[in-house]
Chain A
Amino acid sequence: MNYFDQLSKAMETVAQHPRAVFMGQAVEYPGTAMFNTLKNVPKEKKLELPVAEDMQMGMAIGMSLNGELPICIYPRINFLLLAINQLVLHLDKLPLYSDWKPKVIIRTAIATDKPMNPGHQHLGDYTLGLRYMLSTVRIRKLINPGDIVRTYQQAMEDDSSYLIVENMAYYGMT
């Protein structure tokens, strides 16, 4: 299976969790490449949200505190920057300043400039900057197709939150 198919398989694997919720824009409605990796996720496990990135991340935190397993999806890492408040100051820091232990799996992607170049605002890899800001959230970059399902399984089983970054340039890679 290629990179893209492995992503689809990983989503099916996570969807088996009884309280998994796939949330974000373009999870129930088409519009991004990621949407096609969610086709086999049951509809009742999807939550299409308005474009409100920081609200989305905060909601994921709250849902996890009540027992859900949110898979919080940002189609591009550029859009995740709009959720830095909830990501860095709440999801990452709550376990440090309190006994609350939120657990969220964040899925995002680095865009590619081929075959179309979306320009500076939609390109770029901000993973290193996020590594400097995050203390408790674990970061994983998906490079090898064979690691994708295992990475999501680890994210499901671990107590920590995970930020999992895929690269759209690899979607066709086997």
Chain B
Amino acid sequence: MMLQSVNSLQTEWTVEKLQEFERDIADVFNAGKIRAPVHLSGGNEQQLIDIFKNVGKNDWVFTTWRSHYHCLLKGVPPHELKYDIVSGKSITLNYPKYRILSSAIVGGILPIALGVAWSIKRHCIKEHVWVFVGDMTARTGIFNECGRYALGHDLPVTIVVEDNGLSVCTPTLDVWDEKENETIYVEDYEYYEYDLKSHWPHAGAGKRVQF
């Protein structure tokens, strides 16, 4: 589970440009032009820009229902991404061409990523698998199983835990009765904390939209 030193795919992306993309999506959503759930990203721009400096063009990215930034940083053209979001695909953005797979089911991507990593290792291919999950997912059984298998078999996969402290609106630490990250071994994974709540709600863009 080593980080690769590869190259940046989208060095032109800045914190401001990423935020600008999401504000544009928020405006379209609030105008009632997206008839599907939208999960906006915010507060983790710099962390993701730094991580994606290590993500190679042929690497695989597995992500969740909140994946606009991951898609942009992996190389999906903004106009293509916006088209798909407006078409109602915000929570399941998938691009085989860019090797991006997302799922709107908690933990759903983890074993799929594991299978890709197993195959990469089997054929000695110089590619890497990146998996982005949240702090609640990091406490699930499937996370434990997949993390254990990846570590045990030294698979070419990096699991990134993106900790915003919430699962929808449920405080993760409260419901597990933890004071801090006592039950996940963050040294085994990439880990960062961020504050989504002060940027966007869990879903939507902060306005009640009537269709």
Contact = CB atoms under 8 A, between A and B. Distances in A.
Interface stretch (A4-12, A58-66, A157-165): A58-66
A47 B95 CA distance: 29
B15 to A, nearest CB: 29
Interface stretch (A73-81, A83-91, A112-120): A83-91
A125 interface: no
Contacts of B105: 85, 89-90
A27 to B, nearest CB: 15
B120 interface: yes
B24 interface: no
A105 to B, nearest CB: 14
Interface stretch (B110-118, B162-170, B171-179, B198-206): B110-118
Interface string B114-126: 1111111010000
B57 to A, nearest CB: 16
A67 interface: yes
B95 to A, nearest CB: 8
Given A55-B111, A85-B108, A86-B111, A100 B101 contact: yes
A57 interface: yes
A29 interface: no
B94 A58 contact: no
Contacts of A58: 108, 110-112, 114-115, 142
A47 B112 CA distance: 16
Contacts of A47: 118
Of the four ranges (under 10, 10 to 19, 20 to 34, 35 or more), the interface on chain B belongs to: 20 to 34
B146 interface: yes
Contacts of A99: 94-96
B103 interface: yes
Contact of B114 (A55, A68, A90, A97): A55
Q: Please classify the interface of chain A as helix (H, G, I), strand (E, B), loop, or mixed, using the class held by over half of its residues.
A: helix
Contacts of B117: 62
A63 B92 contact: no
B142 A62 contact: no
Contact of A52 (B108, B116, B145): B145
A90 B108 contact: yes
A94 B115 CA distance: 15
Interface residues of A, number: 28
A98 interface: yes
Contacts of B13: none
Nearest to A57: B111
A90 B142 contact: no
Given A55-B149, A89-B108, A67 B94 contact: no
Given A89-B105, A90-B105, A100-B94, A62 B149 contact: no
A116 to B, nearest CB: 31
The 4 A-B residue pairs with the shortest CB-CB distance in the complex, in nearest-first order: A62-B115, A58-B111, A98-B94, A59-B115
Given A68-B119, A86-B108, 16 more contacts: A54-B111, A54-B142, A55-B145, A57-B111, A58-B108, A58-B110, A59-B111, A59-B114, A61-B115, A62-B118, A65-B112, A65-B115, A89-B105, A90-B112, A97-B89, A100-B101
Interface of A: 47, 50, 52, 54-68, 70, 85-86, 89-90, 94, 97-100
12 contacts: A54-B111, A54-B142, A59-B118, A60-B115, A62-B118, A65-B112, A85-B108, A86-B108, A86-B111, A89-B105, A90-B105, A99-B94
Interface of B: 89, 92, 94-96, 101, 103, 105, 108, 110-120, 122, 142, 145-146, 149
